[in-house]
Chain A
Amino acid sequence: MSGKFEEKIKKYRTAPFDARFPNTNQTRNCYQNYLDYHRCNKVLSAKKQKTTPCEWYRRVYKSLCPIAWVQKWDDQRQSGTFAGRI
């Protein structure tokens, strides 16, 4: 299973179509993957497991999100003012 996942990551070019976000405004797509990456990290680290499966979310949000948004959210997470639930 991890073999197929690693293959998928290796063949990654850009974020694929996600039927959950069918419209032109992809803000939610970016935000959801950002949240999912950090939630995935948090949960797996807490269970002392490898965080490799979280890589997918990181790739997607890196493809989609404006860098300024990511920087702003990272700063907010650091200062404890991030509004999303992670």
Chain B
Amino acid sequence: MAHQAHAMLYSVDPSPSPLTGAVAALLMTSGLAISMHFHTTTLMSLGLVLLLLTMYQSSRDIIREGTFQGHHTPPVQKGLRYGMILFITSEVFFFLGFFSAFYHSSLAPTPELGGCSPPTGITTLNPFEVPLLNTAVLLASGVTVTSAHHSIMEGQRKQAIQSLTLTILLGFYFTALQAMEYYEAPFTIADGVYGSTFFVATGFHGLHVIIGSTFFAICLLRQAQYHFTSDHHFGFEAAASYSHSCLMSYDSSFTSLFTDEAS
């Protein structure tokens, strides 16, 4: 029994990715600190390049192991699903930290802020302008990604490609709108605790949207090259789960960070 179950699993071949990924993280973090003290971005850029190479190589290896070598049997897939769920859960908690920081400062505003929330001097954004549009864009991308998923499951190749492309375009539209909002905002990250919590939370969110768009772009390339079958397309499902959780974090930001009477 035990060795029968074992035959369905597999051990990966040795890979430099864990080492290169760890070194990239080290170079990026120390590089960030160095850039703030000595005004040179060399170390951080080196780390970023190494990170991108690691991402490219490790995802290429996983695709080779799964799609081309057939190692992603049902129990293996189950393990991958667990992994993605756990990772997404950790991301949720990551965002909860930033929401907690916001509520800590906004629910009991100190005299330094004028005892009020939003603080004295802060002109908040109107939530029913660009933020509402951004919410709509992300929700629309949720619809297109579900459509893409169903198209993949139904074996409708062309429709899947179209829906996936539309999803990616919506992601880019969101990023462009948010970049414009950042440029036009009447307050900056340096504007007290309001500015800090706003830009750190929305900044990390925007980064996650970019990551989601990238993940979908990989999926689009793979779909075009016939990697996905109607039963087995975990890479796509992972990207969709990740983006859905990203969308939900924006919805929560919308109701808390953007409203005028912030609690």
Q: Is the interface of B mostly helix, strand, loop or mixed?
A: loop
Q: Answer yes or no: B113 CB below 8 A from chain A CBs.
A: yes
How far, in whole Å, are A11 and B205 apart by their CA atoms in the complex? 59
Q: Answer yes or no: B15 CB below 8 A from chain A CBs.
A: no
Q: Is the interface of A mostly helix, strand, loop or mixed?
A: helix
Q: When each residue 1-36 of chain A gets 1 if its CB lies under 8 Å from chain B and 0 otherwise, what string results? A: 000000000000000000000000001100110010
Please tell me the size bucket of the interface on A.
Answer: 10 to 19
How far, in whole Å, are A35 and B119 apart by their CA atoms in the complex? 16
How far, in whole Å, are A10 and B121 apart by their CA atoms in the complex? 40
Q: When each residue 68-86 of chain A gets 1 if its CB lies under 8 Å from chain B and 0 otherwise, what string results? A: 0100010000000001110
Please tell me the size bucket of the interface on B.
Answer: 10 to 19
A14 to chain B, nearest CB (A): 21
Q: Answer yes or no: B74 CB below 8 A from chain A CBs.
A: no
How far, in whole Å, are A83 and B117 apart by their CA atoms in the complex? 11
Interface residues in chain B, defined as those with a beta carbon under 8 Å from any beta carbon in chain A: 110-116, 119-121
* Between-chain CB contacts (< 8 Å), 24 pairs: A27-B110, A27-B111, A28-B115, A31-B111, A31-B115, A32-B115, A35-B115, A69-B111, A73-B111, A83-B111, A83-B112, A83-B113, A83-B114, A83-B115, A83-B119, A83-B120, A83-B121, A84-B111, A84-B114, A84-B115, A84-B120, A85-B114, A85-B116, A85-B120
